[in-house]
Amino acid sequence: MEAFLELSRLKIDSISKPKSILDDFSWRIQQGKVYALIGESGSGKTTFAFSLFGMLPKNTKIAFEQFQLFGKSYDYWKKEKWKSIRGKKINMIPQNPHLAFHPYRKIGNQVQEYYSLVLGKDLSEQECCVHWAKFGIRDPERSFQSLPSQVSGGEKQRITIAMAQFSESEIIIADEPTTALDPIQEKNMIELLMNSLKTKNSSIVLITHNLKLMQRIADEVMVIKSGKIVEVNSRINGSFPLWKSDYARQLLGQL
């Protein structure tokens, strides 16, 4: 099976306040699989997500032995190269939906602009609203005409999920994609996202604190602690073999 991402010995340091954020981080992402990344708060999950997106904060430094995307070695530092990848082949549902949009422009116009400029698809307001309605946005016309501050966090999160689904990206990084949704909405939303990804054979990197969700949908789980991989576990015949490390078992409530 083709590897979408081959990463070895990734290292990310903070420069301003010298410290290691991620260290010796290697991972292989194959087509059509669900990968979960779990670890306590501050362990480096979001930083890892941003590194796959070429959007690390300026006060950080990245190094690696290998960084291959879609079968090619990637010139990580060439900003131009990311334009053909970011938002197109790799997409992200951000952890904080409040930061996903420019605060002073109507959401609908921003989304239309993304569809048009990044994906090359011109959608009318009505077409956007029909698509959004599938993601449980109750009054899509109102959301379309609203400023980000005028719609709830849950609505914004649904819109970012709809955008990622529409992009037909090969890799979708979902960074705690349902934190603003209640448990029933969360289940529906994840099912919708998963079904759509399966039909497109995309890969998904799911960052979550929801261990039940992880156990239900992930093919492979990586546990990290303080920026280092503690354990990787893959589903075999429908369930995960017992975790070996005390840390993973503690995190998963098996200790």
Ligand X SMILES: Nc1ncnc2c1ncn2[C@@H]1O[C@H](COP(=O)(O)OP(=O)(O)OP(=O)(O)O)[C@@H](O)[C@H]1O
User: Which residues here bind ligand X, judged by CB under 6 A?
Assistant: 14, 17, 21, 39, 41-47, 57, 59-60, 95
- Measured from the CB atom, is 43 or 112 closer to ligand X? 43
By the 8 A CB rule, do 188 and 154 touch?
no
Q: Work out what residue 85 binds among Mg ion, ligand X, none; the CB cut-off runs from 5 to 8 Å by kind.
A: none
Residue 236: strand pairing partners: 239
By the 8 A CB rule, do 134 and 128 touch?
no
By the 8 A CB rule, do 247 and 255 touch?
no
- Measured from the CB atom, is 45 or 131 closer to Mg ion? 45
- Measured from the CB atom, is 21 or 85 closer to Mg ion? 21
β strands within 95-239, DSSP E: 171-175, 203-207, 220-225, 228-234
- Amino acid identity of residue 162, one-letter, is A
Residues 30-89 that bind Mg ion (CB under 5 A): 45-46
Q: Work out what residue 146 binds among Mg ion, ligand X, none; the CB cut-off runs from 5 to 8 Å by kind.
A: none
In angstroms, what is the minimal distance from the CB of 49 to ligand X?
A: 8
Q: Work out what residue 47 binds among Mg ion, ligand X, none; the CB cut-off runs from 5 to 8 Å by kind.
A: ligand X
The whole-angstrom separation of Cα 213 and Cα 195 is 15
Residues that bind Mg ion (CB under 5 A): 45-46, 95
